[in-house]
Copies of this chain bind each other. A is one copy, B any other.
């Protein structure tokens, strides 16, 4: 064991992300277009073997300007926390220099994710201050592959709704779920099953 307690961590997205996603500030006006971007990120992540089959992105609420994206990096960066949503939120907060995505002068933001958030990511989205969450594949699609989504229930969504957070589910669900199956078919690992 090391002689001193560890104090620092650092994580990164693969460089190809900048080839697949448009530059920050690009307006992506519809839920479908935003979802298509996160699905594309998830699929590239699988094909390039740089992580699990999940992508996410943070957009400015008013006009859909792209702020940051994320893909699952659990196995590649060796950290169980690095789901696509966590990466997108962390990078959005870094880009904005703020620990909240909704407090003046920071305008409201929303999170788009290629799969319904697990318990950790739902909580992470809640704490980030995003005012809206848009989901593609559904919990059942991830569970069908053996991923355990943790303690998330309809009560969890009701809790967020009661605090003014809108959640939209099932946008391009089939395309998003297809990436999960692609991952399985290419032999991707289901960690912490």
Binds B, one of A28-36, A85-93, A134-142, A175-183: A85-93
**Interface size, chain A (Cβ < 8 Å):** 68
Q: Would B1 and A25 count as touching, CB distance under 8 A?
A: yes
Q: Which residues of A contact B (CB under 8 A)?
A: 1-15, 17-18, 21, 23-25, 65-69, 74-75, 77-81, 86, 89-91, 93-95, 97-101, 103, 118-124, 126-129, 148, 150-151, 153, 155-156, 159-160, 163, 191-192
In the bound complex, residues from chain B placing their C-beta under 8 Å from that of A99 are 74-75, 77-80, 191
In the bound complex, residues from chain B placing their C-beta under 8 Å from that of A68 are 5-6
Q: Would A7 and B12 count as touching, CB distance under 8 A?
A: yes
In the bound complex, residues from chain B placing their C-beta under 8 Å from that of A17 are 5, 7
CA distance A103 to B75 in the complex (A): 13
**A-B residue pairs in contact (CB < 8 Å), sample of 7:** A78-B98, A79-B93, A80-B127, A81-B124, A103-B192, A151-B159, A153-B155
Indicate the member of A68, A150, A156 with the most B CB atoms within 10 Å. A150
In the bound complex, residues from chain B placing their C-beta under 8 Å from that of A121 are 120, 123
Contact of A156 with B119 at beta-carbon distance under 8 Å, contacts A74-B99, A128-B80, A151-B126 already known: yes
Nearest Cβ on chain B to A120's Cβ, whole angstroms: 3
Nearest Cβ on chain B to A190's Cβ, whole angstroms: 12
